[in-house]
Every structure is written in structure tokens, then in C-alpha cells.
Structure 1
Amino acid sequence: MKAAKAKAGRRRAGRPPLALLGPAQITRAALKLVSRDGYKALTMSKLAKSLNVAPSALYNHVRSKQELLRLVEDSLMARVDVSAFLDQPWDQAVSKWAHSYRDVFSSHLPLIPVIALLPVTNAPQTLLMYEAVTEGFLRAGWRSARIIDAIVALESFIFGSAYDVNAPSDIFAPGELGATAPAFSSAVAHRSNAGQLNDADAAFSLGLAALIAGLATTLV
């Protein structure tokens, strides 16, 4: 009797039953696949293989690659911290949101060109993120007509800065051609950042502060 119960309690080898699949598991597998092999590797067949299921089983949960991308987008946007918009001054809230946003996407570079162009239609977590940001702008006195343009301006800077986090430390080294660009080479050699920040963080902090200050003037 005990042997029979033990045997019944063990899952059979092979593909897992369909019930084990769900949006969270599929999203994690998709992010892992992209991180390891790049966005071009994210196909429904390869994703199904990584989950050890038949493609038909995967299609029972996500009907298309577009729907899969919405799951991925929602997963990443849910990680962006928007809590500061609840109780902090607008400029500080934008700064904390932007830093969190950059940190999330600097760990998922292959997805930036995709997510940046992906409509937010029917993506609940993504819409909640934007709702929190928009409410924060409204509380700070922004007119609705200007908010989306401001968010796009900030996102453009954030996505570019996410790439810079992953740039090699010698990206601006002129090499043997330093003499052909003496002013630039000197600026590179004398680059220094206060507060023990690395180059990427220092550049981001400088640019973000300037962008926030510039946006703030539009409220005057």
C-alpha cells in the first residue's frame, strides 16, 4: 500500500502536465531565454522547448508572440518603482522612478528596442505604472496635454542610459588617434565624478537633473 501511494505521489517523467504552466512561469522562461540568447531567440517553439512542453500546450496560455511580449512588458514594468509619486515632491519622485526604470532595463538590454515600440494596449501592470506617474504629474500641477510628451522625453533618456550602464569602461578611449581629437581626448582623460559615482551613474545623474529642471520650467 505504501509503495503504491509513493508511486502515485511521484510525477511521471517527461513533459510536465499543462496545469503547471501559467503566465508567471512562461514570462520567467521568456526573460531567461532572451537574456541568454538575445531577442531573436524568443520564438514560440524555442520557448516551448525551454519549458519542456509542446508548442500546442504553450498556445493554450499565450495565443501569439504579441501576447507573449505583453506578458514580458508587464513583468518588467511591474518592477519599476513608482511609490515616490505618492508622497514625495515631483522632482524627487521623477528621479527615483527614473533610476528604478533604468536599473530594470539595464538588466534586459535586448528587450529595449522591442518594449520601447510595443503598444501598452491590454497590459495591466504597464498601465498601472503609467497611471501612477501620470497622477504624480497631475498633483504637481502639470496639464494633461503635456504629461505624455514629458514621459516620452524621460523614457528616451532612460532607455539610452540603460545601454550606457553596460558600455565598456574604455568606450571613449581614442587609442592611437588621440592627437586627431585633442580637446576630446583631454576631456576623456580628465573625466572625474564626484561622490564616488561610476561614469554611467554620474552621467545619468547629471543628465536626469538637467532634464527634470528643464521640464519643471514648463510649469511656470
Structure 2
Amino acid sequence: MTAAEQPRRRGRPTTPLLSQEKITRAAVELIGVRGYEALTMAALARRLGVAPSALYNHVTSKRQLLLWLQDHVNREIDCSGFGARPWDAALEAWAHSYREAYARHSLLVPVIAVTPIAGSPHTVAMYEKVAAGLRDGGWPDDQIMDVVVAVESFVLGSALDAAAPDDIFDVPGGQAPVLAEVVGARVGRDAARAAFDLGLATVLAGLRDRWRAFQG
């Protein structure tokens, strides 16, 4: 009797049909195809090919699923510079990596940006490393989260801009001649990247000035 002809053993399969990683990846795929509004537990169960009850055996609520999604995306962000490089170099590298991660998952930006981090262990660890790096770099405690949120606000907006259509500023001829000319001057370069680089350099310059004031 071949392996294919042998009777199937009763009991649970040796390899679980569902796991946190498999569920999270399916959720990311579902959002990528149909948008965040389409992410329901029922739709996710259908995508995974299981009954909703089987899904709820692994993830108890959509809230928990959001925490998994938060950790999933934030694992792509490199924060290794904090504690190893000067605070501004580490912050710059973190911002670049942060933007790249969320540019790949731009549909999740409005959701994850307002999702509390408690319950997302990797995300908590990331912020701990960033906060410790800024403190070691000489930032006062009452300024550290202002720095983090200021950079995040810019980065997440830039991640959305990276997903915007190329013709977002195009208008019918004659309506806005100056706008048409300055938009046309950007042709041939990665406009979203250029805007990000300019904005980040400006943010960092301002933060360095503020940091120097604290050191005096």
C-alpha cells in the first residue's frame, strides 16, 4: 500500500492548520487585495479556508488581530542604530526604514497609527530601544516622545505619499499654470523620495538645533 493509499489517521493533524504567522499573513494579503474595510473575521476565515470558529480558537478578536498586524509590519523596521550610533544618525536610519515598511503596507497606516501598542511585544521593544537611544543621546525625558511622534507623523505621511498616484497634482490645462510648471519640473525623478529626503533633512536639522539648546 502506498503512502497515498494508507487510511488517514484520526485525531489532530501533526502540523497545525493555523498559526499566528499564517493568520497575519492572510490578513495582510486580504487588506492588500480588498482594503482594510474588507477585513472581518468571517472574510479572513474564508480566505484561510477554515470555519470562523476555528479562527477564533487562535485569535480571540479583531483587536488582537490588529496587534498582530502591528507587530508584523513593525518587525520590518530597523532600529538597530540606537545604542550603536549617534542619536541623529540612528533616528535618520530608523525613519528611512520606517517609511519603507509602511510604504509597503500603506493601507494599514490609518489603522496602526492609532492602535495602542500594549499587547504588541515587538512594537513595545522597538519603542523601548528608540527611547533609550534618545535618552542616552542627551534628550531630556519630557522631550523624547515628542521627538518620536514628530518623526513618526512625518514618516507615516510620507509612506502614504509614496503610494499616491503619479498624477495626483495634475489639473486641466490653464487652471493653475504655476502649479503645472512646478509639477512638470519634477518629471524624471522619484518625487515622493525627493520630498521625503528634503523633509527628513529639515526635521533632523530642527531637532539638532533643539538638542544643542538643551545641552547648553
| Residue 125 of structure 2 corresponds to residue 128 of structure 1 | yes
**8 Å contact kept, 1:103–1:162:** yes
2:109 and 2:160 in contact (8 A); partners too: no
Letter in structure 2 aligned against 1:142: W
The answer to whether structure 1 residue 79 and structure 2 residue 80 are counterparts is no
Corresponding residue for 2:53? 56
Could you tell which deviates more after superposition, 117-126 or 162-171? 162-171
Match in the other structure for 1:93: 90
Q: Distance in 1 between matches of 2:14 and 2:42?
A: 17
Corresponding residue for 1:119? 116
Query: What residue ranges of structure 1 are gaps of 5+ in the alignment?
Result: none
One-letter identity of the residue aligned with 1:171: I
Residue 215 of structure 1 aligns with an amino acid whose one-letter code is L
SS at match of 2:114: coil
Taking every aligned residue pair, what percent have the same amino acid on both sides?
46
Q: 1:38 aligns with which of 31, 35, 38?
A: 35
Does structure 2 conserve the Cα–Cα contact (< 8 Å) formed by 1:34 and 1:42?
yes
Contact residue 99 and residue 156 of structure 2 kept, 8 A? yes
Give 1:196-211 correspondences, 5 Å limit. 198-211=190-203
CA RMSD across the alignment? 2.2
Q: Distance in 1 between matches of 2:75 and 2:139?
A: 24
Aligned partner of 2:5 in structure 1 is 7
Runs (5+) with no aligned partner, structure 2: none
Give the structure with the larger helix fraction: 1
Measure, in 1, the Cα distance between the counterparts of 2:118 and 2:7.
42
Structure 1 residues 197 and 81: CA distance shift in structure 2, 3 A: farther
User: Structure 1 residue 18: deviation in Å?
Assistant: 8.5
Mapped contact 2:99–2:158 kept (Cα < 8 A): yes
Q: CA deviation at 1:93?
A: 1.2
CA offset digits 1:35-94 (Å, max 9, x no partner): 011001110011011111110011011110000110011110111111122322222211
For 1:161, which of 155, 158, 163 is the aligned residue? Answer: 158
Residues in 2 aligned to 1:186 and 1:6: alpha-carbon distance in whole angstroms: 68
Aligned equivalents of 2:9, 2:126: Cα separation in 1: 39
Distance 1:208 1:10, change over 3 A: farther
- The answer as to whether partners of 1:18 and 1:57 remain within 8 angstroms in 2 is no
**C-alpha distance in 1, partners of 2:199/2:82?**
20
* 1:142 equivalent among 139, 142, 155: 139
Q: SS of 1:176's equivalent? A: coil
Partners of 1:29 and 1:158 lie apart in 2 by 26
Residues 90-118 of structure 1: CA deviation (Å, up to 9, x unaligned): 22211111111111111112111110010
The number of aligned residues is 210
How far apart are 1:171 and its partner, in Å? 2.1
Quick check: 1:172 aligned with 2:164?
no
For residues 89 and 197 of structure 1, the distance between their equivalents in structure 2, rounded to whole angstroms, comes to: 31
Cα distance, 1:190 vs. partner? 3.0
